[in-house]
Amino acid sequence: MFDGLTAETLARMQFAFTVSFHIIFPAFSIGLASYLAVLNAQWLRTRDETYYTLFEYWKKIFAVAFGMGVVSGIVMSYQFGTNWSVFSDKTGPVLGPLMAYEVLSAFFLEAGFLGIMLFGRARVGDRLHMFATAMVAFGTLMSATWILSVNSWMQTPAGYSINEVGQFVPEDWWQIVFNPSFPYRLVHMVLAAFLTTALVVGGVGALHLLRDKTDVAARRMFSMAMWMLIVVAPLQIFAGDMHGLNTLEHQPAKVMAMEGHYDSHPEGAPLILFGLPNAETKTIDYAIEIPKLSSLILKHDLNAPLAGLDTIPDEDEPPVAILFWSFRVMVGLGFAMAGLGLWSLWGRLRGQLYNSRWLHRASIAMGPMGFVAVLAGWITTEVGRQPFTVYGLLRTSDSLAPVSAPAVAASLTAFVIVYFFIFGAGTFYILRMMNKAPATRNLGLRDGPVRAAGITPAQQVDPDITDDPTPQGN
């Protein structure tokens, strides 16, 4: 199946396959952990039973997603040690401590409080349980911070020197951690995680509203998710624009490929909306473009010159076609998310938020699109760094371990089989949980409804007993 492929190509395919599986689970769990903290805080503040119901519903889904995220992440370290051991040796003095900080300060925080959040409310009380829930949410954000610091350093290395054996060694940890692209990348990723979770929660809420538009829990989760889209989607578009300007400053070749600019434009570059990148002729075939708009977006000047890929050596050129399309998928979905938020706002203002079946169907269709956007963004980021692992300093071909192609092909095949079996089963289980409507907890006698004549114990024991005197079956 992998005949004719080199060890480097296979190792890159293996890393791309495993990281693509991994990235979707943290993207979901980061946003969901914060959502759980909000639900729990609202439950403690208002004692509204709906918040409690939603917290119990989504915490089970979070537990499964979190577990799959941890398992899929462990495999990454395995590949650093086998397929990319030269990269690990050369960058270890810088990246090793950052990844250790991630494990010590973030993962331990998440894992340490996860059990209390999942099972401890009755044992530790509401306040400590709220603290544990907040710590899990904080831990997921801390984990994202360290990992994105690592990745950003690979994109825009700073604060290092190179020793006599070719290793990157730290000189200034402040510059290493807060390297030039780190703040933009962190904000962009965290907002993407919040949007991904909002789309999933909104899609699940819409599904249950289509079945029963009076479902209070479905109404609440759908409303909260749509508010999140209204607020965060425009922020993400703004953050993405700022991130793009930063990328143009530090990784111009990546932006040239994203925009499809094979040629330089000394008098203003057009924005190429669509087209077919042709690597042989180095042109965009059948291009649909708007004159000078690319210069306006990237340099805020219609006539500003923009360099093209003709200004860099061919061997330093990233794969244009992949970047060109992945970037457009990410941007297109970002605007679709903002559009869905505006649609829901229009429906809310007209009093149709819970009755618009087309809005609910669109929300279900958009439910998985956050994952697609995250993957497209990740591909744009990582493929745009090629042909380097450390941008401009260490080539991918020089980062590979001395492994043979058949050995990498065998482990890649094993990963594909195991991943589809394990993560396929986990994803199926999550979808099955989402397909069930949130269930109101069984109320105790103390929490039951109170009438003028007192509580009705019979209803608490048997919920099928109602006030309707009509015999069943009539």
What's the CA gap between 328 and 412, in Å, rounded? Answer: 29
CB atoms within 10 A of CB 4: 6
Q: In 251-319, which residue ranges form alpha helices assigned H by DSSP?
A: 252-259, 293-299
Alpha-carbon distance of 222 to 437, in angstroms, equals 13
346 Cβ neighbours under 8 A, 6+ residues apart: none
Q: What pairs with residue 454 in β-bridges?
A: 451
The Cα 99–Cα 282 span in angstroms is 39
pLDDT at 441: 59
Q: Which band of pLDDT confidence, cut at 50, 70 and 90, is reported for residue 360?
A: very high
User: Residue 465 has what pLDDT?
Assistant: 40
φ/ψ of residue 178, rounded to 5: -100, 55
Cα gap 348→79, rounded to integer Å: 49
- Whether the per-residue pLDDT at 421 is higher than 80: the answer is yes
**Is the predicted pLDDT of residue 282 greater than 70, yes or no?**
yes
Quick check: 469 pLDDT over 80?
A: no
What pLDDT digit, counting tens, does each position of 156-186 carry? 999 999 999 889 999 999 999 999 999 999 9
HSE toward the beta carbon, residue 281, CA cutoff 13 A: 6
Name the pLDDT band for 460 (thresholds 50, 70, 90): very low
DSSP 447: G
Which range has highest mean pLDDT (73-77, 261-265, 449-453)? 261-265
Contacts of 26 (CB under 8 A, 6+ apart): 69, 73, 140, 143, 144, 193
Confidence bin at 68 (pLDDT 50/70/90): confident
Mean per-residue pLDDT over the chain, rounded: 87
Task: Specify the amino acid at residue 211.
Answer: R
The C-alpha atoms of residue 16 and residue 100 are separated, in whole angstroms, by 23
pTM, whole model, 2 decimals? 0.87
Give the model confidence (pLDDT) of 192-229 as tens digits: 999 999 999 999 999 999 998 889 999 999 999 999 99
3-state percent helix, strand, coil for the chain, nearest multiple of 5: 70, 5, 25
At residue 468, the pLDDT reads 41
Determine the pLDDT at residue 461: 43
